Amino acid sequence: MKSPKELTLERKLLAALDPNTRPGFIASLLMEDEEVQMMQDYANSVSIVRLGFNDHGPVHMRQVARNAVKMMHLLKDAGIQGSLEHDRVGTFEDSLSAVVLASFLHDLGMAIGRQDHELLSATLSAPIITRILEVAYPDDIRKRVIIRSLALEGIVGHMANRRIHSIEAGVILLADGCDMEKGRARIPIALNTEPKIGDIHKYSANSIEKVTIRKGEEKPIRIEVEMSAEVGFFQIEEVLLPKVNSSPVKPFVELLAGVTGQINKHYL
């Protein structure tokens, strides 16, 4: 059974997508897919219970999808084309289809382990992507090949340790990095009380109160991070900023962060 948080995020995601378009249809197919749900749930169990990491399950993947869709629309509104449009091999709708698929499936590899989980995610996701696209694009094998390739680039590239080249994959990278609010760290903090190396990631994430993605003042996308304590700057500088710096979307991003009640630090 889906949690209230999952259902809320699904409603918000569907509200941001036209249900009469292929991206909206693909999002609905993913949400209704029993195998996808079970894989997301088990990936989260391994991530939190076995490995002691933050949420990498259905809530996280839905939040990343929501972040990514919002960023894609902000870029479009600013006249920035996705790579498929720029390369004249697809439309904005096709790019959005790839982004929804990638964001919804990018952490499935956590079901196997943390190391190289982005590659494992691509392996586990490929047959699902093929299956979904055969329903959404039944008469266009060319588009299925292109969108699957782009979605897999987004999945493989979401850890910022492999070079990516498309705007769409760059959006996945940022959308993943922006899911850092303290709810992601609440469960692992409660379950793991013994101190160990790496705890700084949990405690820094737990200080992040709010992440806002909106239209920028000078650039298309503005990311604002509000935190309750300065330990949150670790999350910005060690997790989010490297992803921004590795993303082809970096030229279009403003990044600000600060402790509640204090002046924001302007990174970009």
**Domain end: 176, 197, 228, which one?**
176
**What pLDDT does 90 receive?**
98
Structural domain boundaries enclosing 247 = 183-266
Do 200 and 134 lie in a common domain? no
Do 154 and 195 lie in a common domain? no
Do 46 and 76 lie in a common domain? yes
**What pLDDT does 192 receive?**
54
**What pLDDT does 178 receive?**
94
Q: How far apart are CA 249 and CA 177, in angstroms?
A: 13
From residue 24, alpha-carbon distances to 7, 93, 97, 123, 184 in Å are 16, 10, 8, 24, 26
**What pLDDT does 43 receive?**
92
215 has which bridge partners? 221
Q: Which residues contact 78 (CB under 8 A, 6 or more apart)?
A: 220, 252
**What pLDDT does 186 receive?**
47
Do 187 and 147 lie in a common domain? no
Q: Helices 34-45 and 117-136 sit at what angle, rounded to 10 degrees?
A: 170
Query: HSE (CB half, 13 Å, CA atoms) of 62?
Result: 26
CATH number of the domain residue 75 falls in: 1.10.3210
Do 130 and 152 lie in a common domain? yes
Do 171 and 197 lie in a common domain? no
**What pLDDT does 51 receive?**
82
Do 246 and 124 lie in a common domain? no
The ranges of the chain with pLDDT < 70 are 182-202
**What pLDDT does 128 receive?**
98
pTM of the shown model: 0.91
Structurally, how many domains does the chain consist of? Answer: 2
